[in-house]
Structure 1
Amino acid sequence: MPGLDLGREAWLLATGTLTAFRVPMPSRVDRSVAGLAMALAPVAALPLGVVAGLVVLVGEWIDLPPLATAYVVVLALALGTRAFHWDGLADTADGLTASYSRERSLEVMRTGPVGPAGVVAVVLVASLQAAGLTAVVRHEHGWLAVALLVCASRACLAVACVRGVPAARADGLGATHIGAVPVVAAVASLVVGGVAVALAGDALGSAWPTLAGLVLMVAAVVALLMRCVRRLGGITGDVLGAAVEVSFAVLVLAAATV
């Protein structure tokens, strides 16, 4: 059936792109497959969520300090994504601070080594993630909340790739995905993310802070997109990676207030 084939190809593309888990290559990659792949990102991230939850459980079992457990979660997620999103965050920060020239900024994002802005961005966002996780893993069901928040954070990709968002350049890994997600699919992805954050909040004691975190996550992603569109004329695959890491930081910080 065409619909099932499209869904399978999109799931393979999302899992193969967004995680380090080995899956067969999709037989085709076009705008329709790429758009659905970004909408399916919260589901494709489920293996990452399981790994993060297991890290928290093992940390509890061996009586690891919450801060240490939090940093191991950050490390496990970096390994589980080949640090792909962290590279995007660093390149985005460097590009936005490199020059007033759009062309120069895009060149820095494409080929430049990590600069001061990129280092600061990675250290700051990783530290914020660890700070939020430290509070979350102290809860009895913190492992479940962490797993759900990992998946929910990937809903930002449907927002970032919704139709109408321009690509900064015609080539690059993100060019096929950017602007390829139908509005209905983006809303559906956010609904899945909303269910995940509500369940995470319920596991911690209250769903309202995590739901507020989802709203803040969307606001942060929209602000990032607007800045990049004004500065670069659109977004790149690096911006998508930056959106994932910022989104996870926002969600775990919101969960830390429960």
Structure 2
Amino acid sequence: MRGRADALVLAFSWLTVLPVRGPDEVDRDSAGRAIALAPIVGIALGAISAIILWTSTTAGLSPLLRGLIAVAATALLTRGMHLDGLADTADGLGCYGPPERAREVMKSGSAGPFGVATIALVLAVQAAGLGQLAEQQLWWAIAVLPVIGRVSVVLACRRGTAASSPNGFGALVAGTQSNVTPALWVVVAVAISVFAEPDRPWQGPLVVVAVLVLGTLATRHCVRRFGGLSGDVLGAGIETTTALAAIGLLVGS
């Protein structure tokens, strides 16, 4: 029980700015346990996002402005590190050369044109999607979105996935998850998404499966392109799956 509590604290200290302190020393075992609990962080972020959107809706703000506020709040709560990973991944995919060259571009510390354009597009989709979901009072769908993004992280860290570098976040978490843990979280995500669209209970589960399949395929492509998994790829996966899930939940509404 103590180990699980420490893992949950580590997950929140890694993935949010909440004032919690993880263990002083982190090895692959403790990192793997923390990643396995990443969707719980998504539950907390989803609840906060739903509260912000409900409050801004009550205040009479426009749908787009509500979505922008919620996206900005999430970025602040997560230190913007997932957005940084999204930009670095886009720049790495947009360059020519071997994996070593792509990793150099990703580590440059500055966002190139591919990164800037990708961030702008993904944030626009998220803001517009969240605002529209709030307009339709689909609060459960809003709360589920961050969970889907963090389930993609657990899937990306399945056993057999190598890290792109012997150092860094990817080296701690790549290949740490058995097939059981990701499968369980997929089942949980599918189950809770049934309530995302009350009039179409099948739509949420269908969106979850489709988005996670696309996210897994995208991660595999990045692993091949960069010679392994990195923290940047995980951040990109969170942001893109969240945006795609928002689109999917709005189809037909």
Q: What TM-score does the superposition give when structure 1 sets the normalisation length?
A: 0.92
CA contact (8 A) 2:152 2:216 kept: no
Match in the other structure for 2:186: 190
The percentage of counterpart residues that share the same residue type is 36
CA distance in 2, matches of 1:226, 1:207: 30
Q: AA paired with 2:210?
A: L
SS in 1 for 2:196: helix
Q: Which residue of 2 aligns with 1:150?
A: 146
Alignment-mate amino acid for residue 229 of structure 2: I
The separation in 1 between residues aligned to 2:174 and 2:149, in whole angstroms, is 18
Name the structure 2 match of 1:120.
117
Greater shift after overlay, 73-82 or 28-37? 28-37
Q: 1:5 aligns with which of 2, 5, 9?
A: 2
C-alpha separation in 2, matches of 1:37 and 1:201 = 30
Whole-angstrom CA distance in 2 between matches of 1:153 and 1:199? 17
Partner of 1:83: 80
Please provide the CA RMSD for this pair: 1.5
Change beyond 3 A, Cα 1:208–1:232: same
Pick which of 225-234 and 117-126 moved more.
Answer: 225-234
Q: Which moved more, 1:188-197 or 1:54-63?
A: 188-197
Q: Which of 57, 60, 63 is the matching residue for 2:60? A: 63
Distance, in Å, in 1 between the alignment partners of 2:197 and 2:14 is 28
Question: Which residues of 2 match residues 74-223 of structure 1 at below 5 A?
Answer: 74-140=71-137, 142-202=138-198, 205-223=199-217
1:44 aligns with 2:44: no
For 1:21 and 1:144, the matched residues in 2 are separated by 23
Distance 1:25 1:80 in 2: 17
- AA of the residue aligned to 1:41: A
What amino acid maps onto 1:18 in structure 2?
L
Q: Name the CA distance, whole Å, in 2 between partners of 1:191 and 1:94.
A: 33
- After TM superposition, list the pairs within 5 Å mapping 1:237-256 onto structure 2: 237-256=231-250
CA distance in 2, matches of 1:152, 1:227: 20
Distance in 1 between residues matched to 2:159 and 2:95, nearest whole Å: 28
Contact 1:156 1:244 in 2 (8 A): yes
| Structure 1 residue 79 displacement after superposition | 0.8
Which digits, 9 at most, give the CA deviation of each residue in 1:173-192, with x for residues without a partner? 22111110111111112122
Q: Is 1:18 aligned with 2:12?
A: no
The answer to whether the 8 Å contact 1:216/1:250 transfers is: no
Structure 1 position 146, deviation (Å): 0.7
- Runs of 4+ in structure 1 off by over 4 angstroms are none
Deviation of the 1:45 alpha carbon = 2.4
Q: What does the per-residue CA deviation read over 1:47-74, in whole Å, with 9 as the maximum and x for residues that have no partner?
A: 3112201111111211111111111111
Cα deviation, residue 148, structure 1: 2.3
Separation of aligned partners in 2, 1:188 and 1:40: 11
Unaligned runs of 5+ in 2: none
More displaced stretch, 215-224 vs 90-99: 215-224
- Cα distance, 1:20 vs structure 2: 1.3
Question: How many Å separate the matches in 2 of 1:196 and 1:18?
Answer: 22
Counterparts of 2:201 and 2:162, CA distance in 1:
34
Per the normalisation by structure 2, the TM-score is 0.94
Deviation of 1:28 after TM superposition, in Å, equals: 4.2
Report how far residue 201 of structure 1 moved.
2.7
Any idea what the Cα deviations from partners look like across 1:173-221, whole Å, max 9, x if unmatched? 221111101111111121222223223233xx32222212112221221
Using the alignment, how far apart are the partners of 1:229 and 1:154 within structure 2?
Answer: 18
